[in-house]
Amino acid sequence: MIRLTKQFLLDDPQYTDPQNARVLILPVAYEGGVSYGKGTGSAPQAVLDASHFLEFYDEVLDIEPYKIGISTCAPPELPKEPEQVCETIFHHISNLLDQNKFVVLVGGDHSITTGYIKAVAQRERQFSVIQFDAHSDLRPQYEDNLYSHAAVMSRVREYTQHTLQLGIRSMCVEEAQRIKKENLDVFTMHQIRRGNFNLHRALKKLPDPVYITFDVDAFDWSVIQSTGTPEPGGFLWDEVINMLQIIFETKTVIGFDLVELSYSPHDNNSPFAVAKLLYKMLGFKFLKELRNVNVFR
Ligand SMILES: [Mn+2]
């Protein structure tokens, strides 16, 4: 039984009823895995609040994505132990996937991704993960915490070897050595800015289906100002949207998360950008179905 909370975008039960909705959003207010700035725990609510100021219509895609049905679940109550947090998220996501829903996880810090990936790994013999992030997150663990947000891609790679990491501009020397030794597909901002990255070529190497884990610190500060571990020099809005459009057109995306937004009472822009990113991604995902729905009806 899904308990309702404040809904993403609108409160019209015709489009937010959990039984009929194709998309379920799971807000997870967790910041147990952060290392620097606080505030990721309040971020999901800020995204839901900001989403009510979005336009329903996508003027680029010429569709109204909400008509696919988007329902927002109540945030799960979380235990204290990081491993138990992962298990709790795993069970929640599994339950939602069993209902044949497309599930979006909104964080919360990046450590929550592992629970979702575990649920995907139980259902897919083979799958890929694309990470947008300033940080490579490839430490084996961080401060004795296997489930730290700084180690999340190490956990992910225990479930799949097919990963693509984009926008990276911060790592320790051990991570750099590992990337070289294991020949990981990690593309730094520096490489991308030098033109040493071809998305189509990178996507060809990734078997379907694809999961996207999106740490919003991948963005430049002009897009996302409020994030726990900020790094200068990130992606601009249109760059990300263009890449995501190509990914959704080329690959079968089975789920995604948006993590590491940090709530600040002085910044309405960042949660709004995350809300819009979420809505854009749903538009890309359900474009074909939504094209058959007349928006001018
Ligand atoms: Mn990060």
Structural domains of the chain, ranges and CATH numbers in brackets: 13-291 (3.40.800.10)
Q: How many CA atoms lie within 13 A of 14 on its CB side?
A: 3
Residue 104 has pLDDT above 60, yes or no: yes
Task: Say how many Å lie between the CA of residue 57 and the centre of ligand 1.
Answer: 30
The overall average pLDDT reported for the chain is 94
pLDDT at 3: 44
Strand boundaries in 144-221, DSSP class E: 163-168, 186-188, 210-215
Task: Say how many Å lie between the CA of residue 283 and the centre of ligand 1.
Answer: 25
Task: Say how many Å lie between the CA of residue 266 and the centre of ligand 1.
Answer: 22
Strands in 70-72's sheet, in edge-to-edge order, are: 70-72, 23-28, 102-107, 253-259, 210-215, 128-132, 163-168, 186-188
Q: Does residue 285 contact residue 104 with C-beta atoms inside 8 Å?
A: no
Instruction: Measure the CA–CA gap between 252 and 245, rounded to whole angstroms.
Output: 12
C-alpha pair distances (Å), 105 with each of 57, 94, 246, 256: 23, 12, 21, 7
pLDDT at 34: 56
Please, which residues bridge with residue 130 across strands?
A: 164, 212
Q: Is residue 71 within a helix (H) or strand (E), and if so which, with residue range?
A: strand 70-72
- The mean per-residue pLDDT over the stretch 190-217 comes to 98
The tokens for 254 are 């089975």
Strand boundaries in 146-283, DSSP class E: 163-168, 186-188, 210-215, 253-259
Task: Say how many Å lie between the CA of residue 135 and the centre of ligand 1.
Answer: 4
The owner of tokens 């138990």 is 84
Residue 209 has pLDDT above 50, yes or no: yes
Task: Say how many Å lie between the CA of residue 59 and the centre of ligand 1.
Answer: 30
The owner of tokens 């990963």 is 163
pLDDT digits (tens, 9 = 90+) for 261-293: 999 999 999 999 999 999 999 999 999 999 887
Residue 294 has pLDDT above 70, yes or no: no
C-alpha pair distances (Å), 31 with each of 9, 40, 70: 24, 6, 25
Q: Does residue 245 contact residue 206 with C-beta atoms inside 8 Å?
A: no
Instruction: Measure the CA–CA gap between 253 and 256, rounded to whole angstroms.
Output: 8
Task: Say how many Å lie between the CA of residue 78 and the centre of ligand 1.
Answer: 22
Beta-strand pair 163-168/253-259: unpaired
Q: Which has the higher per-residue pLDDT, 172 or 37?
A: 172
Residue 152: closest CA among 166, 143, 142, 161: 142
Q: Could you write out the three-class secondary structure of 175-242?
A: HHHHHHHCCCCEEEHHHHHCCCCCHHHHHHCCCCCEEEEEEHHHECCCCCCCECCCCCCCECHHHHHH
Residue type, 87: E
Task: Say how many Å lie between the CA of residue 137 and the centre of ligand 1.
Answer: 7
Q: Does residue 280 contact residue 240 with C-beta atoms inside 8 Å?
A: no
Task: Say how many Å lie between the CA of residue 96 and the centre of ligand 1.
Answer: 26
Confidence of residue 144 (pLDDT cuts 50, 70, 90): confident
Instruction: Measure the CA–CA gap between 208 and 205, rounded to whole angstroms.
Output: 10
Beta-strand pair 128-132/210-215: parallel
Confidence of residue 2 (pLDDT cuts 50, 70, 90): very low
pLDDT at 283: 98
Task: Say how many Å lie between the CA of residue 79 and the centre of ligand 1.
Answer: 23
Residue 260 has pLDDT above 80, yes or no: yes
Instruction: Measure the CA–CA gap between 219 and 225, rounded to whole angstroms.
Output: 9
- The mean per-residue pLDDT over the stretch 200-228 comes to 97
pLDDT digits (tens, 9 = 90+) for 20-53: 999 999 999 888 755 566 677 789 999 999 999 9
Task: Say how many Å lie between the CA of residue 296 and the centre of ligand 1.
Answer: 40
Task: Say how many Å lie between the CA of residue 109 and the centre of ligand 1.
Answer: 9
